[in-house]
Amino acid sequence: MPLRDFVIDIEPLRTSRDFRAVFIARVVSLFGLGMATVALSAQVYGLTGSTFDVAVASMIMSITVLLGSLWGGVMADRTDRRRLIVCARGAAALAFAGLAVNAMLPDPTLWGIYVCVAWDGLATGVSVTALMAVAPTLVRPDQLPAAGALISLTGEIGSISAPFLGGVLLALWGPGPVFAFTAVTTAVTTLLISRIRPLPPVEDDEEDEESGADTGSLLVAFKYAVRNRVVGGLLVLGGVMALFNLPVVLFPEMVDRQFHGGEVMLGLLYTAPAVGAVAVSATSGWLTRAARPGRLLILAAVTGGLSAVGFGLSGNIWLACALLAVGGAAGTVYEILEYALVQHSTPDRLRGRIVSVITTQGTTGGVVGDVEVAALARWFSPGGAAVVNGAICAVAAVVVAIAVPGLRKATLPRDERGEEGEGDRRHDAGPGPDTAGLAPATP
């Protein structure tokens, strides 16, 4: 295979003005949000001296993102998605402006922080879900893996660099200017999204057999997800991955009890999965052309579980970091292919609600998974809990592969510029001359 086939596919960036606008909006937004996350935790802890209050802020954000995702999924199937995204990002900018004003007061209030965090969580949940829902109306089906890889790469780079930059700005100027900077970056993303073409929901001429009559409710989307072999299989496997994935919450205790290290070692553990993820995203050209994405997705889930098992058993920090990097790489392969398969397998009129169901699953699964693995660590040990979680993940992936052959055999369209997929291209292409290769993002 030529070396160029391993390089990330940037065709959507080259061919579409709208995709470039959305992509840039995502990059700008991720940096602002990463900085604000550091400033928020530092400010709450500085005001209260309580880790519990920091956790409350995080819990408020998680709950409101969940609620916003559910409501945003319904609205994304009922209204113009561009207008919905612009309104949501504008609301988020106001939330960050509120945090900035509160931080600059002589006596900042904790309740003011919580109100702004809740408002931002609702807005973020709506915008993320709506942006994911517009994907196939903006990108050729054969470009979905490339779009997913580009989205993953920006997310991982942002997770590595943005918190560091946020810490530097926080040390120089304090939380107020950091929140103000995030408000400005969010306003920029709002402006960029407002410049893409309108994205009205599509009403299919004929109802899909598997979804039946559409009443506009979440129940219709959930029934479709359960009945569709690909989406249903991904829903089951995604739930397992969310509950039993890499045990990040165990890192501090493992550094203390298993690796006998300090803060630097803890930082290495947190960085290792992102390094593996970035490596896969940056060399994902082969992945976007995979002939059997369903099998590759299941293999990635098994690999991620086995890497967690090895991490729990390892007694050497460098071996542990290497295994975490493998787990991060496997997780990114899974996410890219899950993104493409869900988008390709879901009719446009249900896409907002299907995305909201999957987003909800990931959010609640992550929270419950942290509690579950922490409880296991009390019964066994931190390393033992990681082994149990990884084994469950790997075994569950094999079971799903056997029980849901539709997922194992799932495929994606090849390059639609040829004869294959001509009908899909006519169906998915939107109006205007610039619809050849657009893709979504989630600022």
pLDDT in tens, 141-160: 777 777 777 777 777 666 66
Question: Looking at the domain assignment, is residue 432 inside a domain?
Answer: no
| Token duo for residue 300 | 């990635």
On whether both 68 and 175 belong to a single domain, the answer is yes
On whether both 67 and 99 belong to a single domain, the answer is yes
Question: Looking at the domain assignment, is residue 156 inside a domain?
Answer: yes
Q: Is the pLDDT of residue 51 over 80?
A: no
Residues whose CB falls within 8 Å of the CB of residue 117, separated by 6 or more in sequence, listed in order: 40, 57, 60, 61, 64, 95, 99
Angstrom distances, CA of residue 175 to CA of 164, 252, 317, 328, 410: 14, 26, 34, 31, 47
Q: Is the pLDDT of residue 289 over 80?
A: no
On whether both 186 and 230 belong to a single domain, the answer is no
Question: Looking at the domain assignment, is residue 425 inside a domain?
Answer: no
On whether both 239 and 385 belong to a single domain, the answer is yes
Which structural domain, as residue segments, surrounds residue 67? 8-198
pLDDT digits (tens, 9 = 90+) for 360-407: 777 777 777 777 887 888 888 888 989 999 999 999 999 988 988 888
Q: Which residue has the tokens 């970056």?
A: 185
Looking at per-residue confidence, does 24 or 111 come out higher?
111
Domain count within the chain: 2
Question: Looking at the domain assignment, is residue 237 inside a domain?
Answer: yes
Q: What is the average pLDDT across 306-332? A: 93
Looking at per-residue confidence, does 217 or 47 come out higher?
47
Q: Is the pLDDT of residue 422 over 50?
A: no
Q: What is the mean pLDDT of the chain?
A: 79
DSSP per-residue string spanning 382-399: HHHHHHHHHHHHHHHHHH
pLDDT for position 118: 94
Question: Looking at the domain assignment, is residue 389 inside a domain?
Answer: yes
Question: Looking at the domain assignment, is residue 441 inside a domain?
Answer: no
On whether both 140 and 53 belong to a single domain, the answer is yes
Angstrom distances, CA of residue 257 to CA of 33, 260, 325, 327, 366: 33, 6, 21, 22, 24
On whether both 302 and 382 belong to a single domain, the answer is yes
Contact (Cβ atoms closer than 8 angstroms) between residue 387 and residue 314: no
Contact (Cβ atoms closer than 8 angstroms) between residue 117 and residue 41: no
pLDDT for position 77: 82
Geometric angle at alpha carbon 313, from 312 and 317, rounded to 5°? 80
Q: What is the average pLDDT across 310-333? A: 92
CA nearest neighbour of 250 among 240, 259, 242, 241: 259
pLDDT for position 429: 33
Contact (Cβ atoms closer than 8 angstroms) between residue 404 and residue 233: yes
- What is the phi-psi region of residue 368: left when phi exceeds 0, alpha when psi lies from -120 to 50, beta otherwise? alpha
pLDDT for position 440: 31
On whether both 252 and 288 belong to a single domain, the answer is yes
Residue ending a domain, among 198, 230, 254, is 198
On whether both 174 and 76 belong to a single domain, the answer is yes
Question: Looking at the domain assignment, is residue 433 inside a domain?
Answer: no
SS3 of 47, please? helix
On whether both 140 and 271 belong to a single domain, the answer is no
On whether both 287 and 382 belong to a single domain, the answer is yes
| Percent above pLDDT 70 for the chain | 84
Residue 1 DSSP class: -
On whether both 173 and 100 belong to a single domain, the answer is yes
Query: At 265, which CATH number?
Result: 1.20.1250.20
Query: Whole-angstrom Cα distance, residue 146 to residue 216?
Result: 30
On whether both 47 and 170 belong to a single domain, the answer is yes
Q: What is the average pLDDT across 201-214? A: 53
Q: What are phi and psi of 129, to 5 degrees?
A: -65, -45
Widest Cα–Cα separation across the chain: 67
Contact (Cβ atoms closer than 8 angstroms) between residue 19 and residue 12: yes
Question: Looking at the domain assignment, is residue 338 inside a domain?
Answer: yes
**Per-residue confidence at 215, pLDDT binned at 50, 70, 90?**
low
Query: Whole-angstrom Cα distance, residue 261 to residue 255?
Result: 5
